[in-house]
């Protein structure tokens, strides 16, 4: 028999049972991971496409599983969301990232105005405690609100609830900047998204991938010029090649992120990346 809806029982085939057991085990592990602080934050530079200077870093979570080793976010964030554990994980990432970046700003040459971008999931956005959490973390760490960027995927922004909208407005009124993550993957119009309180548009990697040597520039060109008209800054994700960087610079894109500049790195390596960009 097939798995039935919530609250009902069903008969499972051996294979389904195995998958179910694996999931139940992973969920228990994830719960333990929260209690035992098994998460780490890595940082990927956001680079000025023209000058190469590091203007910010995106915080990306990693799970160091005691038996299975390093687990990437795509393999546990969905489970964290469906179990509600994303709240605790997200709070850790926000606090850790703000603390790190506030520290670098006061000690690392060239990092005085470093920004930090933190990913928010739908559940966090709908949590009525989000506003006070952000306020508290900024207060604790001394990071100016204007140096914090919260990234929300296009899909989540489109499906937002009214309560989320008032949270977004309040965050923006504090000075926190909001970015539309993975733009272009959700088939929504930019003019619609612009009615939401957002400042930055992150162009999804799939568009950057299409910028091959003699490939089609028109799509990225259209996105960047529309964003510029609407007063949004643009960040291109997943830049892997110099020719993509050049093409994006010509299109007028402000900021880039991708393996071409640097992969995500552990906190210890961030200061030297900032300094190297300063002196090159």
Q: What angle do CA 108, 239, 147 make, to 5 degrees?
A: 35
User: Pick from 73, 103, 155, 197: which binds ligand C2E (CB under 6 A)?
Assistant: 73
Answer whether 255's CB lies under 8 Å from 202's CB. Answer: no
Q: 176 vs 12, 59, 243, CA distance in Å?
A: 48, 16, 33
Applying CB under 5 A, which part among 84-92, 136-144, 146-154, 255-263 lies near Ca ion? 146-154
Q: Is 119 in the site for Ca ion (CB under 5 A)?
A: yes
Q: What angle do CA 89, 92, 110 make, to 5 degrees?
A: 130
Q: Is 61 in the site for ligand C2E (CB under 6 A)?
A: yes
| DSSP per residue, 50-97 | TT--EEEEEEEEEEEETTTEEE-GGGTHHHHHHHTTHHHHHHHHHHHH
Quick note: the x/- pattern for ligand C2E over 80-99, rule CB under 6 A, is ----------x--x------
Decide whether 16 or 249 has the Cβ nearer to ligand C2E: 249
- How far apart are alpha carbons 255 and 275 in whole angstroms? 18
Q: 236 vs 57, 129, 259, CA distance in Å?
A: 14, 31, 12
Q: Is 91 in the site for Ca ion (CB under 5 A)?
A: no
Name which of ligand C2E, Ca ion, none residue 72 binds, using a CB cut-off of 5 to 8 Å depending on partner kind: ligand C2E
User: Pick from 238, 247, 251, 256: which binds ligand C2E (CB under 6 A)?
Assistant: 238
Name which of Ca ion, ligand C2E, none residue 127 binds, using a CB cut-off of 5 to 8 Å depending on partner kind: none
Q: Which residues are near ligand C2E by CB under 6 A?
A: 44, 60-61, 72-74, 77, 90, 93, 119, 121, 181-182, 238-240, 257-259, 264
């Amino acid at each position: 028999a097939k798995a039935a809806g919530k609250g009902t029982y069903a008969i499972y085939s051996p294979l389904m049972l195995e998958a179910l057991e694996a999931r139940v085990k992973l969920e228990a592990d994830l719960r333990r991971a929260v209690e035992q602080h098994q998460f780490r934050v890595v940082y990927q530079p956001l680079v000025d496409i023209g000058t190469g200077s590091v203007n910010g870093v995106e915080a990306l979570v990693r799970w160091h599983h005691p038996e299975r080793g390093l687990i990437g976010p795509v393999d546990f964030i969905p489970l964290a969301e469906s179990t509600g554990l994303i709240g605790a994980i997200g709070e850790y990432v926000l606090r850790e990232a703000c603390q790190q970046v506030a520290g670098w700003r006061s000690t690392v040459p060239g990092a005085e105005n470093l920004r930090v971008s933190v990913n928010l999931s739908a559940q966090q956005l709908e949590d009525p405690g989000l506003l006070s959490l952000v306020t508290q973390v900024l207060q604790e760490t001394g990071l100016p609100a204007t140096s914090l960027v919260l990234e929300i995927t296009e899909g989540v922004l489109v499906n937002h609830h009214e309560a989320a909208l008032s949270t977004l407005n309040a965050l923006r009124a504090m000075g926190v900047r909001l970015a539309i993550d993975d733009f272009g993957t959700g088939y929504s119009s930019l003019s619609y998204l612009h009615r939401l309180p957002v400042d930055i548009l992150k162009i999804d990697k799939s568009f950057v991938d299409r910028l091959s040597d003699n490939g089609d520039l028109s799509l990225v060109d259209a996105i960047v010029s529309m964003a510029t008209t609407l007063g949004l800054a643009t960040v291109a994700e997943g830049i892997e090649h110099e020719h993509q960087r050049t093409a994006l610079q010509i299109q007028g894109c402000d900021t880039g992120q991708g393996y071409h500049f640097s992969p995500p790195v552990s906190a210890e390596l961030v200061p030297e990346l900032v300094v190297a960009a300063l002196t090159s």
